[in-house]
Structure 1
């Protein structure tokens, strides 16, 4: 049984990238139908105000530390996580593994031209990749059941959902019993990165916990509240917990 570390009002699995991928493969082989989630400072902040989101995340069989802030914060509070396991890195590694082992991914989310480009690029890079299907992320609530049934009928082994939080966590949980997909994860804005619509921070910034800053300088007017205010709130929560004042 993997070690699950308590962190503020949630948990994180103390897993490396390889251990995470091995656990995911087990779920695919055993057809477990599990929801995966990653947490970062922004999601921890959302959980302060959304108890249902907190419940959904805490019940996920695999919870990874997507942000370096989670790794540092956990260490500051006396726990130990082996490394950051970013959602986009899990995503791209799973595509590689799928091409090698015949797992079929389904891509759901983003604009039509973006998801089409994501599929095209992955097929170009991995010619043996078997794509179960894809769909853009624009739909009415009453279409959800039909979309979930289409995903089930596609025979997908893996589902990647490119919505923002908390929409992706809610949608996967609400439709998991219909889809019956062995492994489902939310990938946020990863489709935009793969398609080339946005760019990811250089490796040195990723390793030093500055990926948020790279995103901020790209769109400061849109991202200042999310990152500057959000990071302050996160740090305050961690410090409050350390001092025994966290509620």
Structure 2
């Protein structure tokens, strides 16, 4: 089901439903772009039009962060669980191994990418990669990267490049890639490689993974989370006050939901 949360479209889907949508896209060779939405991305969309365009024009906007889950629940939406990007990636790799689909990994450093592919191959010996390409290429090399992806006949493309580079790459080449299922995976290749550890399960369930990120990289992450979390609290406060005030007051947002997308 597609609805709108703080002005941003979201799809209320379970892991099973999301995996099935991806499987059907790969089977039919019909393009389906997935984006995982968390608090930081929702907040940054308000000042980054490239990011906002990438999100709202995606076919599936999954709920990644617990902040989105709690916020949606507070506004009366039937959201019970999130579908995290790294967990979805793991499920889709298992699907590829089982059904013979071929993934393409794009992003990360050459060493991290190689290690991630090795760990995945160790876990799923039957899986065949369509291709691997690290994220360290110039704008002049982009056409060659796109050509390689297209020639690989990959069934799914997982992009581990930072924002807004990933969004700009997709905006420029989405229609030329020839890959049915496309998904940004953030730093998931580093997790698959074993170079970065996920937060302990208890912190994941409490929605405190961001605290673990700050613990791992305090200098880089503390201000980022402090800023986006504070803005998100402000947005939620305004939305809750609007709900109490009734339908006459509507808080501004990014875009209305698109009824023609997957959740429509």
Do they superpose with TM above 0.5?
yes
In structure 2, which of residues 220, 225, 234 is the aligned counterpart of residue 227 of structure 1?
225
Unaligned runs of 5+ in 1: none
Q: Superposed, which structure 2 residues align to 1:1-247 within 5 Å?
A: 3-244=1-242, 246-247=251-252
Number of equivalenced pairs? 245
Query: Following the alignment from structure 1 to structure 2, what is the Cα–Cα distance between the partners of residues 243 and 53?
Result: 28
Is contact 1:33-1:176 (8 Å) kept? no
SS in 1 for 2:113: helix
Mapped partners of 1:241, 1:150: distance in 2:
46
Q: Equivalents in 1 of 2:7, 2:164: separation in Å?
A: 16
SS of residue paired to 1:123: helix
- What secondary structure sits across from 1:32 in the alignment? coil
For residues 7 and 163 of structure 2, the distance between their equivalents in structure 1, rounded to whole angstroms, comes to: 17
**Per-residue deviation at 1:132?**
0.5
Structure 2 residue matching 1:6: 3-state secondary structure = strand
RMSD, matched Cα:
1.2
Residues 21-62 of structure 1 deviation map (CA, whole Å, 9 limit, x = unaligned): 011111111111221101101001110102332222112111
Secondary structure at the aligned position of 1:243 is classed as helix
Select between 237-246 and 23-32 the one with higher mean Cα deviation.
237-246
Distance between the aligned counterparts of 1:49 and 1:200, measured in 2? 28
Q: Is the Cα contact below 8 Å between 2:6 and 2:239 reproduced in 1?
A: yes
Q: Whole-Å Cα distance in 2 between the matches of residues 215 and 246 of structure 1?
A: 31
Contact 1:65 1:84 in 2 (8 A): yes
Q: CA deviation at 1:189?
A: 0.5
Give the 3-state SS of the residue equivalent to 1:201 in structure 2.
Answer: coil
Greater relative contact order (CA < 8 Å, ≥ 6 in sequence): 2
Structure 2: runs of 5 or more not aligned: 243-249, 253-264
Q: Choose 142-151 or 95-104, whichever is displaced more.
A: 142-151
| 8 Å contact kept, 2:51–2:163 | no
TM-score by length of 2: 0.89
Structure 1 length as normaliser, TM-score? 0.95
